[in-house]
Structure 1
Amino acid sequence: MQALVVGFVAACITLPVGAQDEQATDAFVQSIKTPQFESTITVAPEIIMESGLGSDLVSTSVAAARKLAVSAAEDAEASPEFFRPYLVDERWDVTLANATFVSVLGTHWMYTGGAHGNYDFSSVIWRRNGDGVGDRMPLADMFADGMRKESPLWDELSRALLAKWEVEWAKRIGQPLGEDDMTWRDSAERAFVFHPEYQPVVTLLPSTQGDKSAGLTFHYSPYILGPYAMGSFSFDVPYPIFEEYLTDEARAWFGGEIKPSAQEND
């Protein structure tokens, strides 16, 4: 069965017709289904049209699905009486696209047994260059001191993120933080400081100035900042909060106000 799963997934790697055509308007949708494993990978058309970025995300996502399909087949064979089919839903969407950057967010929902599934996030900041292609840009490259633990950048970000989390917590619960919530406050404080082994999931915020970004959005999966029932958290940090720590080049990339989302305009 394992060999059959590998062959089936590998056969699905081919991009749809027109995926590299500048006129393409369809998202890339990859569906895989076996008795032990089912997944759907959806990549927005703007990402597919971006030279280098689309193929990068598709190949990485399909490779991960292939690996998980093998694990599902192995687990089903080892413990058939306890096995439940693995389920995956992965989506990639654009948060900002301008002449300099394409910022994308991946949302990955997964079920591999247990009481329920869970989801997490990943992101890519893709810097365009003059010859029609580009490459991944680490967030640390935007800051003069990188994102080192010693940088005062983290003091600014931690304060801003913690304040936003406290407001959001009170909004969702219907009351301010109480004594019973202090464990989650401690967890939030730990999540908002520097971690050498953990890179924050960050996307660029759209701006009222179309050629700029208005700041950064930090994304946190369920369980990191609250119980599963509270879901995920995302916090917008306007660029003036961290502007003084940017490189001279990066300061030119930010400006304007946060552009309202389509949902807020409805």
Structure 2
Amino acid sequence: MTMNGAMISLTSTSAKSLIRRALFGGLVALACVNGSLAAEPNPDFTVKTKYIDASITLDGTIRANAPLADNLLAEGKRWIEKNRVEAAKEFKTAPELFRDGRAWVFERGYSQTAKAGERYVSIVRIDYVYTGGAHPNTFIDTILWDDEAKKQISVRPFFKETADNGPTLKALRAAAIAAVQAEKKERGIDDSGTIDWYKGVEPTLLKVGAVSLAPSTIADKSAGLKFHYSPYAVGPYAEGPYTVFVPWETFKAYLSPQGLAIFAGNQPSGAKLGRQ
């Protein structure tokens, strides 16, 4: 996780707040459709020692859903504990990494972005990690929660088949890459370089991109899928993250009856989140 380059101290309040504002800004953008964040939330869990400064933040909509909040908070705590153990080990063996009171920073935020079928809750998780280097790292992932079963689930039941390199995943990969390329063109980015940035986007459920349900103009439906890519995933770090939208009609032919029941409508005006 450590990047090569000039060391940046995060011991000052201003430096830490920059990351917190960046995290909050991403969550605000992701949650702006359903208005789940009205003000910057305080962390729901924090750990602060000589070698680690970590926090977990849930948005207001998630906090109001006790089973979901408990599940995500437990997941976040496990993540912090794993990194705390690693930081403690490095603090003993390589104290120079923590000179001048510098601590490793781990901040995780969860934001609910859509709900469909009266039970499927889509969540975007953003991690900001700084363990020394030229800049913090950003990691974006998604979670699908079943409010009825009270557990995290996969999008597999929404499709007739989701085999690796199968027709569904090939179609989703092609649509996601096309959407990223369109977003790059809109940003004025030349995508004709020699590096194949899309090599890592594979036609498998785990590598096609972090997928979330997109909100819809029709209540309790999803207008399609959003694919979330962290910095470096589909372009150089300077381009930042990408969130692109694929309308449900694009993959309608691959949907199972369960999927057909939750997809309908269009993406609401102003819901486009190409940059987070």
* Alignment TM class, shorter chain as reference: 0.7 to 0.9
Is residue 139 of structure 1 aligned with residue 155 of structure 2?
yes
| Residue 257 of structure 1: aligned partner | 266
Residue identity (%): 29
| Residue 80 of structure 1: aligned partner | 95
8 Å contact from structure 2 (residues 165, 204) kept in 1: no
TM-score (norm: length of structure 2):
0.76
Deviation at 1:111, TM superposition (A): 0.8
What is the RMSD computed on CA atoms of the aligned residues?
2.3
| Residue 167 of structure 1: aligned partner | 182
User: What do residues 27-56 of structure 1 show as CA deviations (whole Å, max 9, x unaligned)?
Assistant: 762222111110121111221222422111
Deviation at 1:77, TM superposition (A): 1.1
Is residue 94 of structure 1 aligned with residue 112 of structure 2?
yes
| Residue 177 of structure 1: aligned partner | 191
Is residue 187 of structure 1 aligned with residue 197 of structure 2?
yes
Q: RCO higher in 1 or 2 (8 Å CA, sep ≥ 6)?
A: 2
The total of aligned residue pairs comes to 230
| Residue 255 of structure 2: aligned partner | 246
CA pair 97-196 structure 1, distance change in 2 beyond 3 A: closer
| Equivalent of residue 109 in structure 1, options 102, 108, 128 | 128
1:119 is paired with a residue of what secondary structure? strand
Structure 2: 5+ residue stretches without partners: 1-38
| Equivalent of residue 211 in structure 2, options 192, 202, 205 | 202
| Residue 244 of structure 2: aligned partner | 235
8 Å contact from structure 2 (residues 43, 55) kept in 1: no
* Mean Cα deviation higher: 255-264 or 56-65: 255-264
| Equivalent of residue 33 in structure 1, options 34, 48, 51 | 48
**Which entry has the higher C-alpha Rg, 1 or 2?**
1
Deviation at 1:263, TM superposition (A): 8.4
User: What do residues 168-226 of structure 1 show as CA deviations (whole Å, max 9, x unaligned)?
Assistant: 22333x35433xx131xx221x2332247647311110000012100110101111111
| Equivalent of residue 223 in structure 1, options 214, 232, 256 | 232
CA distance in structure 2 between the partners assigned to 1:105 and 1:175 by the alignment = 26
CA distance in structure 2 between the partners assigned to 1:40 and 1:135 by the alignment = 23
